A and B are shown apart, each in its own frame.
Chain A
Amino acid sequence: MIGVDTVLRRAKDVRHRLLPPEAVVIRQTVPEVLVLNDVAGELLERVDARTPVSGLLDQVAPLYDVDRATLEADALRFLTELAEAGIVEVVA
């Protein structure tokens, strides 16, 4: 279960690139190539194995004209999907 206190890292086989308004992710061990929406791409860019999700939201929030609760709900849903896809892993 991913929450605002969860710390995440990118999986070792993941390479990604922001191409606003989307992002591309390559998973090399599967292999698989995915396209992410802008919010998921910006979050993935900032995942660093140290910053909790709340900190990622602090960094991403200024990019979007949306209230914090909506952004948090979207972010948790996207990050959960990225974790289920093996793109990010829970550190703590």
Chain B
Amino acid sequence: MSFGERFLIHPDLFPARLSGESWGDARLNLEIAGTSHAIEGLTDGQAASMAERFAGFDSGVPAKDAVRSRVFRMAPEEFRAIDTRGWNYDLDQDAGETWVRIAGMRFVARLAWRPDLEGALWTAASDVDFPGVLENYLRVLAAYGLAAAGGALLHSAGIVDDGEASLFVGVSGAGKSTFSRLSLDEGRQVLSDDLNALRPTTAGFEALAVPFAGDIRSEARTGARPLRAIVRLRQGPEHRLAELRPAAAVALLASCAPYVNRDPFRAERLMTNLASIVAGAELRELAFALRPGVWSLMGREVRA
């Protein structure tokens, strides 16, 4: 099945330029993982629902260097009706040297580097469905923006201990949300149990929460924490910590770096970023059991 066919009646008519009919004149300014975003062309209702959903990430005033995204109307009849029962939602993605195309439920999007990153979202979603659509778009935009900045967006549980963040990474079902709850019970903060951002700094990398839904609503959503460790997570009969080899760590992170890891034009950059992240972090593999005490183990051995 070619790009867009799952979602669009006419995938060959995918917008070629970042233009269209705006939904309205409202705009939203967000700060996501250290990058300012200006979302333009919203209705007042769309802007209000997004401001509520992304509370704490609304930067209020537009930044000069903000990544600009424009939102345009698209007729509902352009999208296929999809029976979502038992369906695993995954976006269609296509890339070129200076652009990325995305197709999903009730929206399409295009990112472009001209030379700075900007984007456009065409959707049939008005107020009620719009937050979910925009969040899907912003996940992609954040992933590409972070990769271009030398970092990465990673499926992971981000846990803050003593002012530093560690990312616990694992395949679906590895226990990221369960481990996050255990960590909360042991007095640690959770950035996110689903997606976390890493950005380079002059001293290494820092971890930041992103405003995308996870199971746990974080109280540590804003601010950046120095990255301490990358930890491969799995559940086991007892708590146990082991070494993680650099190549295995890069492979793990690559498999958990959504969107960009499927882009043939940006995979080299992603690999370079991930190798840098791994070079400066403690690398561990953690098996954890469903009982307290895991952080006393982490404290003893990860810092050793």
Contact = CB atoms under 8 A, between A and B. Distances in A.
Given A33-B251, A35-B248, A19 B262 contact: no
B245 A17 contact: no
A51 B272 CA distance: 26
Nearest to A13: B264
A79 interface: no
Given A17-B275, A31-B262, A26 B267 contact: yes
Interface string A58-86: 00000000000000000000000000000
B264 A17 contact: no
B251 A35 contact: yes
B250 A15 contact: no
Interface string B244-259: 0111101110110000
Contacts of B263: 28
Nearest to A15: B267
Contacts of B268: 15
B184 interface: no
B262 A24 contact: no
Contacts of B245: 22, 35
A39 interface: no
Nearest to A36: B247
By size class, the interface of chain A is 10 to 19
Nearest to B278: A19
A33 B255 CA distance: 6
A34 interface: yes
Nearest to B272: A17
A23 interface: yes
Contacts of B275: 17, 19
Q: Is the interface of B mostly helix, strand, loop or mixed?
A: helix
B281 to A, nearest CB: 13
23 contacts: A12-B264, A15-B264, A15-B267, A15-B271, A19-B278, A22-B245, A22-B247, A22-B248, A24-B254, A24-B271, A26-B254, A26-B261, A26-B267, A26-B271, A28-B261, A28-B264, A28-B267, A31-B255, A31-B262, A33-B255, A34-B251, A35-B247, A36-B247
A13 B275 CA distance: 19
Contacts of A15: 264, 267-268, 271
Contacts of B262: 28, 31
Interface in A1-21: 12-13, 15-17, 19
Nearest to A34: B251
Interface string B99-119: 000000000000000000000
A34 B278 CA distance: 16
Contacts of B247: 19, 22-24, 35-36
Contacts of B248: 22, 35
A15 B251 CA distance: 11
A31 B264 CA distance: 11
User: Which of A26, A28, A34, A36 has most B Cβ within 10 Å?
Assistant: A26
Interface string B217-243: 000000000000000000000000000
A13 B267 CA distance: 10
Interface string A18-59: 010011101010010111100000000000000000000000
A28 B247 CA distance: 17
Contacts of A28: 261-264, 267
Contacts of B250: 17, 19, 24
Nearest to B252: A33
Nearest to A17: B271
A17 B246 CA distance: 11
A10 B275 CA distance: 21
